[in-house]
Amino acid sequence: MAASTWSTDTVGTSEGFSYWHEAVCQAVLNVSTEAPCAGFRASISGHSLDGLRFACFAADAHEIVRSRSHIARSVDEHYLVSFQIHGRSQISQADEAFILEPGEIAILDGQRPFRVSFPTQVQRVLAVMPRTLLERRAPWLRKGTIRKIGSDSPYADLARRHLLQLALREETPDTSEASLLTENLCNLLALATARDPGSSERLADIQHQQVLAFCQQHLADPNLAPAMVAAHCRISVRTVHLRFERIGQSFGRWVVENRLEACRRDLRDPLQSSCGISEIAYRWGFSDLSHFNRAFRNRFGMTPREWRASAEV
C-alpha cells in the first residue's frame, strides 16, 4: 500500500493551483479544479491498495468538476465516497443536488459527470472504490442516484471511523488489515444506503459479514463478547447470536475455535519460536491457561507443546 502527500506550500504561489490539480488527479480521480482564490493553499495525502484509493485533503474555496471527457479517459469504473469533516460541500450530479455538512457522507457515481463546490475552507476524507466492490453488496447503487448518509444515520459513525482509519492514520495499515477495513466499510455503506424493503435477506448477509469481520478484527481482545459486537454494529445481542446461527455455530464456539487456530499458526511460526506458549495464548485472548491447554488438545488431538515440538522433528 503506497502513500503520498502533496502540499501547495512546496511550490511557488503562481504554481499552487496547477500543482493542486495534478495532486487531486493522482490521489483521487481524473477531474478539473476550478475557481481558485488568490493565494490558494491546499494539501492532500493519499494511499492506494488493489484498485482502491483513500485520501484526505484540506483546501481553500474552489470547485472540482468531473466531465464526460474525464470519464472517457478513465480506465476503471468507480464510486467516490466523500466524508465531510469541516466546511460544506455543494454537490450536484445529473438532476440531483444537495449540501454535504460536517459528519455526513456522500456516494457519487464516478461514471457520471458531477460538480462539487467548496464555498469556504474545507476538509474531507475520500475513498475511490471500484463499482463491482460496492455493487456486490449494494446493487441498488446501480440506479445511479447520488446518496447522502446523514451524520445521525445508522452505521454512519462506524463508516466514518473506517474511512478515517484508512485515510488518516500515520502508519499505513498492512494489506490484510486494510482489506478487512475496506470490507467492513463496504458492508457499512451498503447497510446505510439500503432503501429496498425487499432486500432484507441481502442485508442479513451483509450484516452477517460485518459481524464476522468485526469479531475477526478484535479476536485478540479478551473482552470480545456479544454485547460488544452488538454495540459496534448497532444491532441487538439477539441479532448477533442469530448471525452465528446462520453458520451453525454459537458466538462462544466461533471465538474459541478461531483463537485456537490463530495460536496453532503462531506456535508453528519460526519467527515466534522464542515466544512462550502462555504468551501466545494470552496474546489471542485466552485468560485461563488451563482452559486453553484443554481446548487445544480437544480441538487438535495434542497439547500446544506437542504441536510445537512436532514441527521440529
Helix H, strand E, coil C: the string for 8-56 is HHHCCHHHHHHHHHHHHHHHCCCCEEECCCCCCCEEEEEEEECCEEEEE
Residue 197 has pLDDT above 50, yes or no: no
pTM of the model: 0.66
Greater model confidence, 258 or 32: 258
Position 82 scores a pLDDT of 94
Residue 305 has pLDDT above 60, yes or no: yes
150 within a domain of the structure (yes/no) = yes
Average pLDDT for the chain: 84
For residue 18 the three cell numbers come to 496547477
What are the φ/ψ torsions at residue 224 (nearest 5 degrees)? -60, 125
**CA 16 to chain centroid:** 31
pLDDT band at 181 (very low <50, low <70, confident <90, very high): confident
C-alpha span between 193 and 156 (Å, rounded): 10
In the chain, the amino acid numbered 157 is D
167 within a domain of the structure (yes/no) = yes
Position 157 scores a pLDDT of 84
Position 172 scores a pLDDT of 53
| Cell numbers 459528519: residue | 103
213 within a domain of the structure (yes/no) = no
In the chain, the amino acid numbered 165 is Q
220 within a domain of the structure (yes/no) = no
| Cell numbers 454485547: residue | 227
Q: In this predicted model, what pLDDT tens digit does every residue of 199-214 receive, in sequence order?
A: 556 667 777 877 888 8
Position 37 scores a pLDDT of 62
Q: What average pLDDT score do residues 187-196 get?
A: 78
187 within a domain of the structure (yes/no) = no
pLDDT band at 312 (very low <50, low <70, confident <90, very high): low
Q: What percent of the chain has pLDDT over 70?
A: 90
Q: What average pLDDT score do residues 129-140 get?
A: 84
For the chain, how many structural domains are there in total? Answer: 1
91 within a domain of the structure (yes/no) = yes
What residues make up the domain containing 85?
2-173
Q: Which of 204-208, 292-296, 307-311 has the lowest mean pLDDT?
A: 204-208
286 within a domain of the structure (yes/no) = no
What are the φ/ψ torsions at residue 48 (nearest 5 degrees)? -130, 150
The answer to whether 284 and 216 are in contact (CB under 8 A) is no
Q: What average pLDDT score do residues 82-99 get?
A: 92
Which CATH number goes with the domain that contains 9? 2.60.120.10
Residue 86 has pLDDT above 80, yes or no: yes
61 within a domain of the structure (yes/no) = yes
pLDDT band at 284 (very low <50, low <70, confident <90, very high): very high
Residue 33 has pLDDT above 80, yes or no: no
195 Cβ neighbours under 8 A, 6+ residues apart: 140
Pairing outcome for strands 62-66 and 32-34: antiparallel
